Amino acid sequence: LADWAELLIVAPAPANFIGKTASGICDDLLTTVFSASSCPVLIAPAMNSNMWDYPAVVKNVELLQSFGFYFIGPDSGDLACGWVGKGRMVEPAAILDGALKIFSIAGSLKGKKVVVTAGRTEEPIDAVRYISNRSSGKMGYAIAIEARAEGADVTLITGPTMLPEPRGINLVKVRTASQMAGAVKEHFAGCHLLLMSAAVADYTPANPEEGKGKKSDSDISIKLKPTEDILKSVGRLKNSQVVVGFALETDNAIANASRKIGGKNLDFVVLNNPNEKGAGFDTDTNRVDIIWPDGTINQLPLMPKRQLAIEILQRAIRLVRD
């Protein structure tokens, strides 16, 4: 059953099923099939409104969404328990529409290989200390999940994050900028689309200590050297691949991001500004500008990163098809 299905739907899906699936519990046929399947999943929750708002249920839903599961509903109305509120399963016609929507987008990247980078890098100062940044990896993981939903063979090259591993995706874990560069170049030649959303360190300690550096009362200086510009490197290797870059800028943002398009041979660049409310590192939302080689700018409103991943990916898909 797990291998046969092209789409798994649970309707109605009670809090018990959602909790067991989020926890990896396989104690019946349904949860066993779900844990063994790699196809898209559509869940139509149905439960008491207080249960739907219960913190553990909220966390379980968020966790399953991070795995790439789709949710539809619940609606508000009369509930089986006699209450009136949010928790009613959506109508079967809405579930059918949701399934058709999944099938209508699934396959846009069928047969295509997509590489996504995510997270931060950690550049060691010594055996226990490192230089890094605050990237959570949420944007890159969301893009990888949506690319899988589009039917792509997805490789996610990720630096350290606190995010759960997404289903059905080839995960390559790295730590340093050098490791990230090696993994990207290894997978770039055979891919159709690269989305470079990782926050790679610009500098790394030139002479990291093998052991733990000892504390002293004296000032210390750490010599830094530039890391490899991964996008510039793959830009030189680019043939028919579509390459999407990401830029985080706080000053002269449009101008600085635009220069990266020609300098790194990008098809378009996604500009983030961490100073904008609800955008930047370690948030569930983001607001970006998409900048094209001809100077056109798509200013997208603040939205959840999962929705933003769809917006970015749909633009890239048009280029891959062309």
Q: Is 81 an active-site residue?
A: yes
Residue from 26, 39, 81, 191 carrying the catalytic annotation: 81
Q: How far apart are CA 175 and CA 160, in angstroms?
A: 6
Bridge partners (DSSP) listed for residue 194: 115, 243
Q: How far is CA 205 from CA 105, 130, 210, in A?
A: 44, 9, 12
Length of the chain: 322
| Residue 192 contacts residue 113 (beta carbons within 8 Å) | yes
Measured in whole angstroms, how far is the alpha carbon of residue 192 from the centre of its chain?
18
Q: What is the DSSP letter of 199?
A: B
Residue recorded with tokens 């509930």: 79
Listed residue (38, 287, 312, 51) closest to 166, CA to CA: 38
Q: How far is CA 287 from CA 119, 190, 311, in A?
A: 18, 31, 11
Catalytic residue list: 81
